[in-house]
Structure 1
Amino acid sequence: MFTGIVEELGTIAEVTDQGDAIRLTVEAGTVLEGTGLGDSISVNGCCLTVAELGEGRWTADLMQETLDKTSLRGAAPGDRVNLERAVTVDKRLGGHIVQGHVDGVGRILSRAPSEHWDVVEVSLPGHLARYLVDKGSITVDGVSLTVVEVRDASFTVSLIPETLARTTLGTRRVGDLVNLEADVIAKHVEKLLGGYLPSPGSTTGHGNPGSSDNPENEDD
């Protein structure tokens, strides 16, 4: 589990193609402190397991599922990446609860720079739209952000100077792909309320789970 507060920018050193998988080696410093084999590190919002450790670098294996569902399928040597170690129980939750499980890939649609911040619009896959609300949380490439506005097929965020300077979002250009993770709390609420919500095509909800919609069971 992560917080969406990027600890450092790493650099992809090597990408080894293994057919249905790749080995990704990342140069880093801060995230290697106290890190051992099997630990988790978020790379652009994708939780990866440390498989090898070296001097100033670490390696992870990315399976086909990860390549299919995240922007890391296009990773190349020299790319900068957002890195965060898994959160510990004594750490401040500065962002929001982030699992490192990418829900979908968006694309930078526009950037509107101003004197003190950038407003960035990102395309939103249809299946994620229901989880976003204005002023809610969204993870973009591993960065915890507040949604400014939810639109029909996109959303906007405002990037402060700290975010622009310390994460890859400062250099992302129009057309670039970014990993998206919706707020896990919204997904759990949807699941828990599923039994009470109307099913597709119905005009009424299920009501109380202990009640019945059969009129024969009602009192005269």
Structure 2
Amino acid sequence: MGGSCFFFGGGVSHPGTPPPPTWWGARRTPQCYFWGGRGHIPAPPTPCLAGVGGGAPFSPIFFWGCPPQSHRYVYSWHCSDGPGFSCPLLVDTTGAYFRRDGIAGNYLGGMSPPEEEEPDPGDLSVDHDYFQEQVWPRLAHRVPAFESLRLRSSWAGYYDYNTFDRNGVLGPHPKLENLFLAAGFSGHGLQHAPAAGRAVAELVVKGQYESLDLRRLGWGRLVEGKRLEEDGVV
């Protein structure tokens, strides 16, 4: 769900239209309306399906636009003396990150560039100089054993994220009362999925949060333009 969308509803109602009777009625039978996993989702039709937009520029009340996608380089390397099995995903204070990849001394990692140095989204070739000049020195400073790492492979791919504040958007839509969303987690979705899933389930079944009060992640901040910034995006 870290770059994924999950729209949940028993059929989306237009503004002013009562929800289907089975949504909050006696049977309370929720249905999955739309789901999109990692990768490119054709966004333009979605607001129209939900009765939002109507040919006008997309409203942040539905979703925060659809800018050109950023892409990231991911590098794979081998280091026989690197951190052991107990090493978690590590994000350095400089922005470089890595994690183990299997049991044979292999690792995956990379680093997001500054906004002004974002690579061309139309070019998915890997910049190996970026690893040599920017990523590797930071990794070796954090883990001295990485001074002798051997780069094995690399790839580039698109990175989905919430361009408003890089934080999750969770809960009911402010105008479509039977439309719920859990998206925009900007790469952290797998880590947040258990809590986000429980939270949405509680909203659907109980009508309110019970385990954790996550109202700060709601749509209201988009409508009001109040960002809840997430700076730990790699």
Which interval holds the TM-score relative to the shorter structure? Answer: under 0.3
* More helix by percentage: 2
* More strand by percentage: 1
Per the normalisation by structure 2, the TM-score is 0.20
Considering Cα pairs closer than 8 Å and 6+ residues apart, tell me whether 1 or 2 has the greater RCO: 2
Per the normalisation by structure 1, the TM-score is 0.21
